[in-house]
Chains A and B, each alone.
Chain A
Amino acid sequence: MSDVSLTVNGKRVSGSTEDRTLLVHFLREHLGLTGTHVGCDTSQCGACVVHVDGRAVKSCTMLAVQASGSTIVTIEGLANGAELHPVQAAFKEHHGLQCGFCTPGMIMAATDMIAHHPEGLDEATVRAELDGNICRCTGYHNIVKAILAASQAMSKGSKGRAKQAA
């Protein structure tokens, strides 16, 4: 057992957990943040993507103790109250989801992608960067559209939000 201390979505949290506990299980079961999903559990599908110290990683392939001391942002940390984050709004607007299971990971990967490409995104880059996120419903087309739209919307105004999401 180890003590794990994290800053999750701006709040300091801590708990005691087995060393073998995966970060995704710690987030879901200890903190009740069930927006982060377990899809394949083999680091391929990306449904479990969260930001750890500003980088989008697969929380099913990291131990909670490894993350101790880190700052984490999950899908629950993006919206500002009732106001959706620009990437969430773009997914809604462009119908970037059907069943929605992959969506939290898609959106966390997308916000990271936008934050790490301040020069802007094109379709080829978005598709290449979505390599680690699998969607079985949409055929990706509207996801790509949504990310491109969000990238444009964010570069126009709310740069502070892009930074916060990273």
Chain B
Amino acid sequence: MYSVNYHRASSVADAAKQLKNGDAKLLSGGMTLIPAMKTRLAAPSDLVDVSRLKELQGVKVSGKTVTIGAATTHYDVSTDEKLKKACPALAHLASLIGDPAVRYKGTIGGSIANNDPAADYPAALLALGATIVTNKREIAAEKFFKGLFETALKEGEIITAVTFTAPAKAAYQKFRNPASRYAIVGVFVTKGKDGVRAAVTGAGEDGVFRSKEIEAALAKNFDASALDALKVSAKGLMGDLHASADYRANLIAVMAKRAVAAANA
């Protein structure tokens, strides 16, 4: 790791100020950033640690509205009793990220700011129609995820929370890479008052995306059997040593069916 200057932010406003130092980066759980720094893939001059900020912690549920602080760990999301009642699919998703030690440190804000094309949370936020709240504005998930490791975040902008309306039904199913625990393909489906949404992670060449064909089939009949005839095209899908684009295309249909079955269970 190259030399770095560490700052512990005292508030979000302080973090925004500290971020102006050199080539500073925000540090939350550090489960991606620290390994990237160790291999020198990332070499920020300064780190601004926001992981201990109380104002970024915790899950709030008020009626159907769920708000999760950006520095809430995957463990805390996966075990939150209020969330397990309001949107169990999201708590379940958090329990599938990494391993237990990683879930104790990694945070939802860090995960979505990184926007790894195989990360789990982006699929959930897109399918839930979530809003990403920053220290400057609110951004719809639809506009937030821009491509591989790309987001709508501007220089110096800090995610403070994500918020969404809990849907009537939702589920996430993931075909997990057993070594990295990232999704080879993950599908999050929701059925709410705005209809059916299905978001796919791990597969798209441009990162997370909504599958119009799955949504169209499920809008008519929210049942796994509605996807029996579904043929997903491999166009625009990733292929690598873990799975070819064709294999991922097939997995999308399989994971979508499993997700719908789980949402209806």
Contact = CB atoms under 8 A, between A and B. Distances in A.
Nearest to A65: B6
Nearest to B73: A55
Contact of B104 (A18, A56, A66, A131): A56
Interface string A80-115: 000000000000000000000000000001001100
B208 to A, nearest CB: 23
A58 B101 contact: yes
A66 B27 contact: yes
A61 B100 contact: no
A79 interface: no
Interface stretch (B28-36, B115-123, B124-132, B157-165): B28-36
Contact of B102 (A18, A22, A132): A132
Interface stretch (A40-48, A135-143, A147-155, A156-164): A40-48
A86 B47 CA distance: 40
Contact of B98 (A2, A19, A132): A132
A18 B98 CA distance: 28
A22 B5 CA distance: 13
A166 interface: no
A129 B95 CA distance: 11
A132 B4 contact: no
Interface string B23-52: 000010011001101100000000101010
B5 A62 contact: no
Q: Is the interface of B mostly helix, strand, loop or mixed?
A: mixed
A26 to B, nearest CB: 13
A75 interface: no
B34 A55 contact: no
A48 to B, nearest CB: 9
A28 interface: no
B81 interface: no
A2 B98 CA distance: 30
A132 B3 contact: no
Contact of B6 (A41, A44, A66, A131): A66
B75 A62 contact: no
A131 B104 CA distance: 13
A61 B27 contact: no
Interface string B197-240: 00000000000000000000000000000000000000000000
22 contacts: A18-B3, A19-B47, A20-B1, A22-B1, A22-B38, A43-B31, A43-B101, A43-B102, A44-B179, A46-B99, A49-B101, A57-B105, A58-B102, A61-B34, A61-B105, A63-B6, A65-B6, A66-B6, A112-B100, A131-B100, A132-B98, A132-B101
Nearest first, the 9 A-B pairs at minimum CB distance are A132-B99, A131-B99, A19-B6, A55-B104, A65-B6, A20-B1, A132-B101, A58-B101, A61-B34
Interface of B: 1-6, 8, 27, 30-31, 34-35, 37-38, 47, 49, 51, 75, 98-102, 104-105, 179, 181
